[in-house]
Amino acid sequence: MNIYPKVIIDETGAGFLKKGQMWMYRNNLVLADPVLKTGGIASVWTETDEYLGAGFYSANSHVTVRLLTVKEDTVIDEAWFEERMRRAWEYRKTVMHDNLTCCRIIFGEADLLPGLTADRYNDVLVTQITSAGMEQRKDMLYETLLQILREDGQDVKAVYERNDVQVRVKEGLSLYKGFWRDTAETETVISENGLLLRVDMENGQKTGYFLDQKNNRMLVRQMAKGKKLLDCFTHTGGFALNAAKGGAASVTAVDVSASALDQARHNAQLNGLQDIVSFVQADVFDYLDSLQPGAFDVIILDPPAFTKSRKTVMQAYNGYKRINRRAMELLEEGGYLITCSCSRFMETDSFEAMLREAASEAGVLLRQISCTQQSPDHPVLWTMAETSYLKFYMMQIEKKQ
């Protein structure tokens, strides 16, 4: 028996949902019950009266329904949300046991909690809500999540909201940031795999730090011993400092942002690595062009997203190709290229095609060492392409004979 107002979807949209997609788009909408309001829960049905699931309804967004469940007659109440969040926490305890004080606890659709992100930095949770349904229930959600963590002996004191992302406007939501109820310091020093890093939850990128690269940074640490390493787009020094901690002979960290480099220098001092890492403020494209081949054994390319929509993918392709080709030209025989993309619109096939094209033009062969994605606290739901965005490659360079 259906307990939520109905939304009728066309055959095309139904096909996507049956494959596991969790978003129902407005262009597939046939009919919506007039009692439905943004943030309410709707059940999704085909024109032939087949039930497909239930989730948050939006009258504003292109995403009309964000599915929460595909089980008919599920009651989506406080107990339901509590169970989902308990599962998310238990999962993190399994895959992030060494980094539980600095990890993503809830990753939206990947945890079947669409529109909710929660990151932990020591005793503060930093949240981001991008759906009206979650916004309307946030008090209950925060109270429940804090209760789950505290019951498990976790020292969590406050919730800081980073609801300052433009995607909220599409849901008719306002932009703001600040503490929910109790307050705490907005800056803290986390320990990521034993490396101390200062995090600015109020002004830092994303929710304060790039948690999704923590496992990849360890890969760099493990192969850096004795190497001369260049870290491009270093930001606050994550890869550079891991390389230094791993015994790199020298590390040069480059970024265009003076404020990011100030934080990186502070992080180097926190870890006693200031004599190994040197910091350069420069445009990475220009800096790479100024170098002579053989200056570095390892080059890391971790740029910001070159594209945030499908409209600019080719422009991004050319940007990625330019820096990767130049890095390949600079590395000598046996050197290492570490390269990645954090844009979900630059899909894996396109990124790999770019690498092949850049290698051909640079006159090198690529020997793949590893290919990874985001850290497991950012799980990938295979039926939701939106949850798979980070591509991380480690390559060894061979010159064509």
Catalytic residues: 342
Q: Dig out the tokens for 347 from the structure.
A: 């899909």
- Alpha helices, DSSP H, located in 19-163: 78-95, 132-136, 138-151
- Joined together, the tokens standing for residue 105 give 């606890």
Q: Measured between alpha carbons, how far is 131 from 259 in angstroms, rounded to an integer?
A: 32
Cα 277-280-283 angle, rounded to 5 deg: 140
The rounded distance, in Å, linking the Cα atoms of 299 and 211 is 21
CB neighbour list of residue 266: distance below 8 Å, 6 or more residues apart: 198
**Strand arrangement of the beta sheet that strand 228-232 belongs to:** 277-281, 250-255, 228-232, 298-301, 336-341, 391-399, 364-372
